[in-house]
Amino acid sequence: MSIEGGAKDVVRLVIVDDHPVVRDGLKGMLDQDDRLDVVGEAGGGHEALAVVAATDPDLVLMDLRMADGDGVSAIRQLRKASPDRPRILVLTTYDTDRDIHTAIDAGADGYLLKATPRAELIDAVLRAAAGQSVLAPAAARSLVDRTREDHLTDREIEVLGAIARGGTNREVAAELLISEATVKTHLLRLYAKLGVRDRASAVRVAFQKGLIG
């Protein structure tokens, strides 16, 4: 799936949640939008790995705490198999710092709460599939508070500089001798600090603030 020049390609989704009623509700809601196609469902983390392997979705909506394998373990295994695909958007009821930090560190591309309104959820899915950062306000605040400071760390500035030079996540990881998952974590944190949603905006704001030259 790619979104270029405003094209409305269909985003293929897998929903992972251990409550059948929740899965049914999400599927019914998301399938009403012609830009989205739910191609698979799973009731736990272990099943999710098999479903993703069978369907090759663009994005996974992942709950965190489930009876059959937790979401964080599934995220780690999906990221180990492929650093960039599928995109993984956490959708959960839990908003503690520990849940947020653990999910992002495992390789999640975004974090939303199940109280998110329908229109915002659909917009978030589309943005996440297009490679943008998607964070619930509580998650954004938590990532900023984690460092207890508003300015970017030296490593975050290094990541921004590499991105500004046109580097992909993989190229930035190779240049800085870190993993792609770590690059994503740095990006999500600096997005939150700069109040932006994507790489281009982060670079623009960083130039404006004189953080990179």
Share of the chain above pLDDT 70, in %: 91
Q: Could you tell me which of 125, 93, 92 has the C-alpha nearest to residue 109?
A: 125
Does 6 map to a domain? Answer: no
Does 55 map to a domain? Answer: yes
Check whether residue 127 and residue 171 sit in a common domain: no
Check whether residue 111 and residue 162 sit in a common domain: no
Check whether residue 133 and residue 104 sit in a common domain: yes
Mean of the pLDDT values across residues 137-156? 67
Does 16 map to a domain? Answer: yes
Mean of the pLDDT values across residues 50-56? 95
Check whether residue 106 and residue 155 sit in a common domain: no
Check whether residue 77 and residue 155 sit in a common domain: no
Single-letter amino acid, residue 75: I
Length of the chain: 213
Does 193 map to a domain? Answer: yes
pLDDT digits (tens, 9 = 90+) for 70-128: 899 999 999 889 888 899 999 999 888 788 888 888 889 889 999 899 999 999 999 99
Q: Could you tell me which of 32, 1, 26 has the C-alpha nearest to residue 14?
A: 26
Check whether residue 101 and residue 18 sit in a common domain: yes
Check whether residue 120 and residue 17 sit in a common domain: yes
Does 1 map to a domain? Answer: no
Does 203 map to a domain? Answer: yes
| Beta bridge partners of residue 135, listed in sequence order | 111
Check whether residue 23 and residue 116 sit in a common domain: yes
Mean of the pLDDT values across residues 151-172? 88
Check whether residue 69 and residue 123 sit in a common domain: yes
Domain termination site, one of 144, 172, 192: 144
Q: Could you tell me which of 77, 76, 128 has the C-alpha nearest to residue 106?
A: 76
* Average pLDDT score, the chain: 85
Output the pLDDT for position 209.
72
Q: Please tell me the least confidently modeled range out of 8-17, 40-49, 90-99, 202-211.
A: 202-211
pLDDT band at 9 (very low <50, low <70, confident <90, very high): confident
Per-residue pLDDT at 1 exceeds 70: no
Residues 6+ apart with CB under 8 A from 161: 212
Residues 6+ apart with CB under 8 A from 142: 95, 97, 100, 101
Q: Please tell me the least confidently modeled range out of 32-36, 151-155, 177-181, 183-187.
A: 151-155
Report how many domains make up the chain: 2
Output the pLDDT for position 140.
66
Per-residue pLDDT at 20 exceeds 90: yes
Mean of the pLDDT values across residues 34-57? 94
| Beta bridge partners of residue 134, listed in sequence order | 110
Output the pLDDT for position 4.
42
1-10: long-range contacts, CB 8 A cutoff, minimum separation 24: 1/58, 1/129, 3/126, 3/129, 3/130, 8/34, 8/35, 9/35, 10/34, 10/35, 10/36, 10/37
CATH number (domain holding residue 54): 3.40.50.2300
Domain termination site, one of 144, 175, 195: 144
Check whether residue 90 and residue 128 sit in a common domain: yes
Domain termination site, one of 105, 123, 144: 144
Check whether residue 123 and residue 161 sit in a common domain: no
Output the pLDDT for position 105.
84
Check whether residue 96 and residue 119 sit in a common domain: yes
Does 4 map to a domain? Answer: no
Give the pair of three-digit tokens for residue 54: 């069978």
Output the pLDDT for position 213.
64
**Claim: this prediction has a pTM higher than 0.85:** no
Does 127 map to a domain? Answer: yes
CATH number (domain holding residue 202): 1.10.10.10
To 10 degrees, the CA torsion angle through 159, 179, 132, 62? -150
Per-residue pLDDT at 147 exceeds 90: no
For residue 109, the enclosing domain spans 11-144
Per-residue pLDDT at 8 exceeds 80: no
